[in-house]
Structure 1
């Protein structure tokens, strides 16, 4: 059996042209080699898994190559390159500063620098995670780093440049590596999948790239895990399942419920998400990122900042055109506040549900705030009061709906003060209007239902029977099989019992099958309610140990059973055993 090598090692770049996403680094190094302007000390900085150690090894191999090409690349055929590729070169020394960070380790390295290379031009010393060196080790390294022998080159690599002493930084030529972009990562993964014969959807590779956050090593490690998990078939769904990522389709459905102010559907959808094992803070953060993407989609200039699967970009744009910017910003404020207070909340699920309730009725709250007839701004200005003429005695006759007229004599006005300049604040004036006929969304739905019922457009519900239920159940199983949903087997093994015209019971033999069926609760309810034209149709799933639901396994016969079976077919065998008085070892 051939030994397995992880993709991060198997496809590690062997020359500068194969380094992904760091062209500004590789071009500079190749020009320096071609022009023979190499510095004596380099410092490679940047995030993890972006190619710092890889570029250091390629640089060490290239400067010792006996026949470099015109572009400054190693030939990979000379004795120096071959020994380097096989790991037997004596001109390269790697030191892990994370575990060798003492003064004695650095002194041992400095002593080795005194010896010239036996073959080749340079001896290269690569110190990885150099920020882990102690202060005394740094100080012991200063003199050698500043004035090394002409044949010695030091390459320091670190992920935390701010922890390195300024005296070290001033002695090195610094190269800052950047995170690898999503497109570069996807292209590299597609190339590897083509070489390995792996069938991978581009959407799945985009999800892996987003999860790796610009780290190529993490992306390759995730790819190896999912290939082992799926046996070489990478799809969008199984990638989400393996990485435990909530699909953006859930957020689209949640936003649709918010816009319709359908609180029940929103709460059921969150319950489905919670049953799948996603924590509330993850849902809040993901929903906030979803709304942020909707805001970006409203302006084509910044739409490129979205790191989403390509198939969702059109869907984001279509939904963004239907939504108001003020609503999106207000929703982001609610989600940000809920995420900040999530850790201190005693009941986490209730805390998330309260945020969803506020989002469901956010549109209605904004309509009340922006209702016409209200002045939104006030002004500060000086005004002069003028003398008011006293009220003359008058009577106001109020005629109630029934009864005698009432005569009210107004109170005599008080003494009017002298006019003078006064600085006042003009208060917000609310126009008095006739009570509006505007009604809420729920009332509108009720009116539409009543009107359609009067018009005779309602569809009579289909009575639930065992035969019809079994037919609808099989149709839903066929849909699951078309979508390659693993829950289809659990649905096939379940038994159905009709309780009455509007409810039934699903019986399963174990808890595992119950979880599979509960995982499809929302789509199953929607399918059956639509199938029977009954929005009140309900069901429950119970676990019951029944023999007819158990999976039948045929156990192989043991020695005693096989002898008894042969004896029944051939009686002479038993007679021979009895005559010879044989004892069989079962």
Structure 2
């Protein structure tokens, strides 16, 4: 039995012309070879299975060809080409960076670069999956990659360009490979099916191309599996069965049931699909793609985005004309949200059925939102600002006013929309006005100096600040007039509330800062510290030297950094003491330590002493561990 070779290897392109879907890359490389403008380093990046490593091998083979063709292709007849085809060429070195990603592997590669080729013009080094190299390996590769010998060419291939260091990218000529289109994939599969004498329907090949998502290697692997499964006959139905893809006919039936609001038929159809072995996420994802294709069909300019087999395009176009765009967009949103939440759902089946129930009543919701002309009516919005009235709960002071005690009247506010008037209107009765009782408020509720039933104009200007109260007569009243005073500022309101207890008095004549007064006060503060048991702080204050700098500043000179920290610790209490004595809140000081002063070294702790003993005699630590002692440091 002959050894079987998979199609991805058997039909790997050997020349630039046989590379599928990368014409912009192959043309550039052929022109560079013909014109002698080869770079010393290339970076091939793009999705998986699009021909990066294949193009790297073809480039290595072509530049060493002894009989280069006029079109820039290799001859396949010279010794260099034959040795390459047989895999015994000494001028081409491939390194899998996924398994050889250490700095030692790159250093070994750099060592090989020093040796010139024995035959041919160039030594080509192909590094696949280069993004897997470590940072140290990248850095070891930088110098050689920037200035290699004239005979060395590096070709790096990767699927994740963003993981490569910018210093590597700047040293390479970058080629971005694109995904292979479904049309190019189908054409290549047809050629292989013809060569292998495989009966393959075009619809089946289109389905394989959609499933591979632009990866030629995946499409060839799928073709090999289906050929083995069907014994050489590739049809649309057995391809659906093998790839676990739900037929579009189920989606058409499901859509008809949902549009007709036949919930029972929709749920029974999903039960039938579920019994065939299709999970809920496959149904949600497939139905969302189905609705997306219907939405695309409604726009003639977007027909090229339709991703279905040719045999189904006519049916998609006919059905898209019968469904409203609002239903499709809303349904796509429901399916997308259901697919996102599918993994978190505990009852997967119920989760999918809930999404189908929402879609079942979606048409009814859309019909309720249509006007007489059949257009969707948007939610009504408020065109302008709306004024509202607010009455605060009466305070205890107002409630107690009936007893004859002098209390403050309640502050009742009118609020108008700020966007209309630019401000809010605050109405506060004057304290001299007799306060109303609870019965009066309940019988005739008044907001400020207006009745709660009176309309408020949103354009009413705010009350101006004036010293004379404004009188306003209430409509329908007995003739009594309430006075509306001017707006009271915040400071006056606070003074009226707390009285004179917390009144701030400014000092007009502070005492001058003199050494005759400062020194006794300094000694007094030091004595207070001594009385509190702070002996170190008291000694520091007694040893400090004072110097007056200005009317509000004096300097404290100490001889050690630790003394400076002690005074800084007492700074707040010291400043408050001196500012009160001098009646000057601007009084402050600065600390000065001479440059020759050195920080006092504290005695070593118990742990430090033990560590020093262990350093001199390591056996002490071994003894501690053997005895399992827990030392209390």
With normalisation by structure 1, the TM-score equals: 0.65
**Distance in 1 between residues matched to 2:130 and 2:381, nearest whole Å:** 62
Q: Which residue of 2 aligns with 1:334?
A: 334
Question: Is the counterpart of residue 377 in structure 1 residue 380 in structure 2?
Answer: yes
Runs of 4+ in structure 1 off by over 4 angstroms are 371-376, 381-384, 415-420
SS in 1 for 2:47: coil
Deviation at 1:379, TM superposition (A): 4.5
Q: Which residue of 1 aligns with 2:82?
A: 82
SS in 2 for 1:322: coil
Deviation at 1:330, TM superposition (A): 1.2
Q: Which residue of 2 aligns with 1:69?
A: 69
Deviation at 1:329, TM superposition (A): 1.1
1:120/1:334 Cα in 2 relative to 1: closer, same or farther (>3 Å)? same
Deviation at 1:375, TM superposition (A): 8.8
Q: Which residue of 1 aligns with 2:307?
A: 307
1:156/1:382 Cα in 2 relative to 1: closer, same or farther (>3 Å)? closer
SS in 1 for 2:50: coil
Note the residue ranges of structure 1 that are not aligned, 5 or more in a row: 385-414, 425-586
Q: Which residue of 1 aligns with 2:188?
A: 188
CA contact (8 A) 1:383 1:421 kept: no
Deviation at 1:381, TM superposition (A): 4.6
Q: Which residue of 1 aligns with 2:490?
A: none
1:375/1:40 Cα in 2 relative to 1: closer, same or farther (>3 Å)? closer
**Distance in 2 between residues matched to 1:417 and 1:230, nearest whole Å:** 85
Deviation at 1:421, TM superposition (A): 3.7
The structure having more radius of gyration, on CA atoms, is 2
Q: Which residue of 2 aligns with 1:113?
A: 113
The aligned length equals: 394
SS in 2 for 1:143: helix
Deviation at 1:214, TM superposition (A): 0.5
Q: Which residue of 2 aligns with 1:2?
A: 2
**Distance in 2 between residues matched to 1:67 and 1:269, nearest whole Å:** 65
- Deviation digits for residues 242-268 of structure 1, max 9, x if unmatched? 111111111011001112222221111
1:381/1:212 Cα in 2 relative to 1: closer, same or farther (>3 Å)? closer
Deviation at 1:416, TM superposition (A): 11
1:264/1:106 Cα in 2 relative to 1: closer, same or farther (>3 Å)? same
**Distance in 2 between residues matched to 1:96 and 1:194, nearest whole Å:** 34
Q: Which residue of 2 aligns with 1:280?
A: 280
1:250/1:419 Cα in 2 relative to 1: closer, same or farther (>3 Å)? closer
Q: Which residue of 1 aligns with 2:25?
A: 25
1:358/1:126 Cα in 2 relative to 1: closer, same or farther (>3 Å)? same
**Distance in 1 between residues matched to 2:385 and 2:6, nearest whole Å:** 79
Question: Is the counterpart of residue 243 in structure 1 residue 246 in structure 2?
Answer: no
CA contact (8 A) 1:92 1:125 kept: yes
- Deviation digits for residues 96-127 of structure 1, max 9, x if unmatched? 01111111111111111111111110010000
Q: Which residue of 2 aligns with 1:571?
A: none
Deviation at 1:359, TM superposition (A): 1.1
Deviation at 1:420, TM superposition (A): 6.8
Deviation at 1:340, TM superposition (A): 2.0
Question: Is the counterpart of residue 96 in structure 1 residue 96 in structure 2?
Answer: yes
**Distance in 2 between residues matched to 1:132 and 1:37, nearest whole Å:** 29
- Deviation digits for residues 169-225 of structure 1, max 9, x if unmatched? 111101010000000000000000001000000011011111111110011011111
RCO (CA 8 Å, sep 6+): is it higher in 1 or 2?
A: 1
Q: Which residue of 2 aligns with 1:325?
A: 325
**Distance in 2 between residues matched to 1:96 and 1:152, nearest whole Å:** 18
Deviation at 1:4, TM superposition (A): 1.1
Aligned ranges for residues 382-421 of structure 1 at < 5 Å? 421=457
**Distance in 2 between residues matched to 1:56 and 1:4, nearest whole Å:** 25
Note the residue ranges of structure 2 that are not aligned, 5 or more in a row: 388-450, 461-633
SS in 1 for 2:301: coil
SS in 1 for 2:149: coil
**Distance in 1 between residues matched to 2:348 and 2:385, nearest whole Å:** 53
Q: Which residue of 2 aligns with 1:258?
A: 258
- Deviation digits for residues 345-377 of structure 1, max 9, x if unmatched? 221111111111121121112112225499953
**Distance in 1 between residues matched to 2:328 and 2:164, nearest whole Å:** 43
- Deviation digits for residues 262-295 of structure 1, max 9, x if unmatched? 2221111100110111111111111111111111
Taking only aligned residues, the RMSD between alpha carbons, in angstroms, comes to: 2.0
Q: Which residue of 2 aligns with 1:163?
A: 163
1:70/1:258 Cα in 2 relative to 1: closer, same or farther (>3 Å)? same
Deviation at 1:83, TM superposition (A): 0.9
Deviation at 1:380, TM superposition (A): 2.6
CA contact (8 A) 1:334 1:359 kept: yes
Q: Which residue of 2 aligns with 1:45?
A: 45
